[in-house]
Structure 1
Amino acid sequence: MQLFTVVVLTIVAVGGGSAQLIKRVYRPEDRFVAYKRRAVQFLKRDGELRILACIHGEDHVNAVLTLLEIARPSTVAPISIHAIHLKPLAGRSASLLLPYTRHSTPYDAPSSSDTDHIFNAFFQAEQQHHSSGFSILPYVCISPYATMHEDICTLALDKKVFLIIVPFHKQLNIDGSFSSPIPAIQAVNSSVLRFSPCSVAVLVNHGLVKENIMTFHSGAHPSPAVYFFGGPDDREALALGLRMAEDPSVGLTVVRFRHPEASLDGTEERLDERMLEEVRMRGDGGSRVVYREEMVRDGEGIVGVIKEVSGRFSLLLVGRGDRKEMSLMCGLSTWSEYPELGIVGDMLASTDFGGRVSTLVVQQQRWVAGNGLPENMSMVGKHVVLLEEDEDGDD
């Protein structure tokens, strides 16, 4: 009996110790780490922008397609869209991720499948802009919500995607109110933000539809704006905005928020200034890029400026950013409800704030600590930064 007790205790001790050791050594998220830069900021101006657009239902299609049209694909700067329809799978069955195959019937024929409806819209957009560098690569993912982010991150890594677009977990109703949140989609978005091998953008749709913004033949001009506070995520949002402004019909406004006593001596501040200098140069050159600075001391000042100017734009871009320590954010972080949007993105998404402009909250590619970096790159916090120009720009 004593021998049996000793054996059992030994098994328990060894098993418990092994479990803790495995947890420390095995990190499944490491398989999503990209060893190349996968951020819009580091993409050459004429490089192909590869985007993974996540679609949970037909309600998400119009806003995503409109956003992609604002991004302005062209033969000089093409955009390839890896569109993925995410369908929940109950139980413990294995996930399924596969390319979508168009039916033998014409793509615009009526279909009984929601997946067919979704991709019919993408195929129509591809045909409409087939000569302007716009291509669609459709996929279907059938997976439990708990592991759905793994399929998204795996596809993004395999296809060398630069930006993943995920829809906010609350939809805008016809009456202007938001529908009930879907916690499962919120959890998927949070996991994608945590493990993504590239940059991520959360699209908060406040009525982003083509008819309200522009058409290619109507003469109307999309007018995105970037709210810039500083840091890697804001630089990524700005890079995306500048990419949109490559088309002369797009008017971009960059609003930089600064504290009157802010220092520009830190590494992040120097990187910000380097990128903003390009914005100023474009503005001086008579392009449709407008740069303005707003001196504010606290959250109240930020709210005042945003309320005043937001209604003039068709789309707002802002970095997700961890801004809790910024003196400018005093009074705002207390009311943050959705951490996946960051402090400013959360405010812009709130119906209480009164905003009715769709918002794209951007997070630049993060790097898992401990992995080797190219010689011309370095770590600043959790982010990779470029120390000098790389002629490659991609692979």
Structure 2
Amino acid sequence: MAAGLNVKQEERGKSSKKDSNLKQALTSEYLKKMITHQAFTVLILSVIIFGGVTSPFIKYIYRPEDRFIAYKRRTVQHTKPSAELRILACIYHQENVNSILSLLESTHPSSSSPICIYVLHFTNLVGRAAAILAPYKHNKSSNLITETDHIVNAFNYFSQQNPNNSVTILPFVCLSPYSTMHDDVCSLALDKKAALVLLPFHKHLAIDGTIESINPNIQNVNVNVLHYAPCSVGILATLSTATMSRVAVYFFGGPDDREALAYGMRIAENDTVGLTLVRFRPPKELRDSGMETKLDDAIVDEFRRRMVDDNRVVYREEVVIDGEGTVGVIRAMSSQFSLLIVGRREGKESRLTEGLSAWNEYPELGVVGDLLASTTEGLSAWNEYPELGVVGDLLASTDFGGRVSTLVVQQQTRFGAGGKGQTAGRQKVHHQRQVAPAEFDEE
């Protein structure tokens, strides 16, 4: 009985194989008749050419970063003094909290000029799990206190120390790989209409007094945020534990420097903080009278009219000829202060900063910020941090008579072809830097 079943199964298997072979033979003969060698060659070449042209074309027309374009002025300069200043404070590690809070405290929040702080704590996501960006929620069912809990508690305590609804804290958590963290920062800043994103520098002051790097991936995140942020960006290089009670703004001119001065004017409202504005200018015969100079003169004149009392708030003007003279002034003055604020000025070369950008290593600081964050000596090695810009590089250097914390500011930028913007003349990754047009001002 069993033997008979096995024989039948073998016969069925042989017949199915024959049918399969017959179908393959018929199909092969049919294809040979339908598709000649010439047609087959044309078909393959068409697929290769179409695929080769389509891929770069899609990359050209599809720009995912365009979703971060803001069509309104989201800057400190264009935020009314009586309006709520919205700040997105990014925290990579718990060590970043004290310096960020010290800076926010010097900003002088009050009931007439409140600030709203969106706290974003990053956690590096390893593996294939989906990234998460969500409001912070304390897990009451667990007795464990996480790093995020400590960070949020510190900001909540800061809010309690500033009553009358002068400070609002809204915490968020972000679980994401370093390669896409900038997307979460830009998305949250755009959604919450932040005027300023605060980022910690990737190096900080260690317990033993040395300057150590936290994580080189943080530098890449900062650079990407600078490229795509829909609002102004500030990078805080904490190189000192001193309280930020003596502040200086180094002003060379341009949109970034005007944004730095606008933030300095808010700090000048704080009666416990002394502020000095140092404006670097070339000799009279070398000065121009273009639109940028007029805008610079307007904000400096406003500062002098509203703030300067020649006691707590001081204005100084330094006439220098070239980059060497600029370095000499900065070297002589920087150790007198506990916080230096400067514009990033990326791509903006002038007579006053000439020769400082050739060795820029950390672009998020700019040339002078890079030089001031550097730990090396000699002109050829000054520009370590191009992300800080020309001036920020210089200010972050430890070779200037002491270590001073530095805030490097970049005013709002936007990207994308076809937008109604004024090109600022600075090249970013794929697009030109553009400033949001006046007709889109929130005012």
TM-score, with length taken from structure 2: 0.80
Map 1:136-285 onto structure 2 (within 5 A). Answer: 136-180=169-213, 182-208=215-241, 212-213=242-243, 222-260=245-283, 261-283=285-307
Structure-2 residue corresponding to 1:313 = 337
CA gap 1:41/1:339 in 2 versus in 1, 3 angstroms: same
Task: Quote the offset at 1:302 in angstroms.
Answer: 1.3
Return the letter of the residue paired with 1:333: S
Task: Quote the offset at 1:369 in angstroms.
Answer: 5.0
CA gap 1:204/1:11 in 2 versus in 1, 3 angstroms: same
CA gap 1:388/1:192 in 2 versus in 1, 3 angstroms: closer
Task: Quote the offset at 1:61 in angstroms.
Answer: 0.8
How many residues were matched structurally?
376
Counterpart check, 1:58 vs 2:88: no
Q: What is the alpha-carbon distance in structure 1 between the residues aligned to residue 98 and residue 272 of structure 2?
A: 21
Task: Quote the offset at 1:135 in angstroms.
Answer: 1.2
CA gap 1:121/1:43 in 2 versus in 1, 3 angstroms: same
Return the letter of the residue paired with 2:411: Q
Structure-1 residue corresponding to 2:367 = 343
Counterpart check, 1:79 vs 2:79: no
CA gap 1:225/1:389 in 2 versus in 1, 3 angstroms: farther
Q: What is the alpha-carbon distance in structure 2 between the residues aligned to residue 286 and residue 294 of structure 1?
A: 16
Task: Quote the offset at 1:183 in angstroms.
Answer: 2.0
Task: Quote the offset at 1:175 in angstroms.
Answer: 2.8
Map 1:333-372 onto structure 2 (within 5 A). Answer: 333-352=357-376, 353-354=399-400, 355-370=402-417, 372=419
SS at match of 1:118: helix
Structure-1 residue corresponding to 2:319 = 295
Counterpart check, 1:329 vs 2:362: no
2:148 to 115, 136, 149: 115
Deviations 1:66-112 (A, max 9, x none): 1110111111110110000011112333210000013438xxx9843
Does the CA contact (< 8 Å) of 1:97 and 1:142 recur in 2? yes
Structure-2 residue corresponding to 1:304 = 328
Return the letter of the residue paired with 2:435: V
CA gap 1:287/1:110 in 2 versus in 1, 3 angstroms: farther
SS at match of 2:173: strand
CA gap 1:99/1:388 in 2 versus in 1, 3 angstroms: closer
Return the letter of the residue paired with 1:298: D
Task: Quote the offset at 1:176 in angstroms.
Answer: 2.5
Deviations 1:304-363 (A, max 9, x none): 211221122221100000355312223322332211110111112123323411000000
- In angstroms, what is the RMSD of aligned CA positions? 2.3
Q: What is the alpha-carbon distance in structure 1 between the residues aligned to residue 308 and residue 195 of structure 2?
A: 30
Structure-2 residue corresponding to 1:219 = none
SS at match of 2:279: strand
Return the letter of the residue paired with 1:25: I
Task: Quote the offset at 1:278 in angstroms.
Answer: 0.8
TM-score, with length taken from structure 1: 0.89
SS at match of 2:358: helix
Which consecutive residues of structure 1, in runs of 5 or more, have no partner in the other structure? Answer: 215-221
Task: Quote the offset at 1:24 in angstroms.
Answer: 1.3
2:72 to 28, 33, 36: 36
Task: Quote the offset at 1:385 in angstroms.
Answer: 6.8
More displaced, 225-234 or 7-16? 7-16
Q: What is the alpha-carbon distance in structure 2 between the residues aligned to residue 389 and residue 248 of structure 1?
A: 34
Percent sequence identity is: 53
CA gap 1:248/1:388 in 2 versus in 1, 3 angstroms: farther
CA gap 1:245/1:324 in 2 versus in 1, 3 angstroms: closer
Q: What is the alpha-carbon distance in structure 2 between the residues aligned to residue 136 and residue 82 of structure 1?
A: 6
CA gap 1:283/1:136 in 2 versus in 1, 3 angstroms: closer
Where relative contact order (Cα < 8 A, 6+ residues apart) is larger, the structure is 1
More displaced, 287-296 or 62-71? 287-296
Q: What is the alpha-carbon distance in structure 2 between the residues aligned to residue 42 and residue 61 of structure 1?
A: 27
Which consecutive residues of structure 2, in runs of 5 or more, have no partner in the other structure? Answer: 1-36, 377-398, 426-432
Return the letter of the residue paired with 2:403: R
